[in-house]
Every structure is written in C-alpha cells, then in structure tokens.
Amino acid sequence: MEPADTHVRSALLPAGAEPPVRVYVNGEEWAEGEDFTVDGPYLRFSRPLRAQPKLGFGRSVMLAIGIGVYGDLKGDKLDVLYRVGDRTMSASVPLSAGEAEGIPPQG
C-alpha cells in the first residue's frame, strides 16, 4: 500500500500558462472536465497522482555509489502542453505532495 503523503490532487501550472491546457500522465492524455480541471493557476485532478517519495539519506548514498533503489521510487510523470501568447509550450511538472498541501482547497 502507498503512503498517503505521496498522493497529489493538485499541481501548479507553469508561469504564464494559458488555455487550452493538455495534460499527459505517464504518457496518456487526460480529458479536461473528466480527469482534471483548470482552476486559475492550478490543475485539479479527479483521482490522485503519486509523487515520487523523497529520498532519505540512506537511499541518496546508495544511489551516489551506484547501488540501485529504483523499485520503491515509483511516481507518476506529469507533462502539460499550454499556450503563452501565440506559442505552444510544453513542460514536465514535478509532483510534490508537500507543495500540494499548501494549495488552497477547491471551492
């Protein structure tokens, strides 16, 4: 079972992002209104995404010396396409459960 502190229900859009916004989670396009909504500068997800757990000191040392600890570091990958003026931009948006706690609730 996944720890609840890795669940993310909101993410901050890149600065200056304008609609239309297209969202891809792990390479799969999500539908606006069904899978996510745009709420000002935030994306709100209908189901939680998984943030990659933070690396503890032990894991960081093991990775630094070449010992893999990848199996327990699974998390979702969030990519967005959006407009800035007349240009289409893309960005990978980091998922952070800690940051999501500071995002105002939907309302």
Amino acid 102: pLDDT? 45
Collapsing DSSP to helix, strand or coil, 5 comes out as helix
Tens of pLDDT, residues 65-95: 766 655 555 789 999 999 999 999 999 998 8
Are 93 and 42 within 8 A, CB to CB? no
Tens of pLDDT, residues 19-69: 999 999 999 999 999 999 999 999 999 999 998 766 666 666 766 676 665
Distance CA 57, CA 100 (A): 23
Are 36 and 48 within 8 A, CB to CB? no
The DSSP secondary structure of 38-95, one letter per residue, reads: EETTEEEEEEEEEPPPPP-HHHHHHHHTT---GGG-----EEEEEEETTEEEEEEEPP
Domains of the chain: 4-94 (2.60.40)
Amino acid 78: pLDDT? 96
Look at 10 and 74; give whichever has higher pLDDT: 10
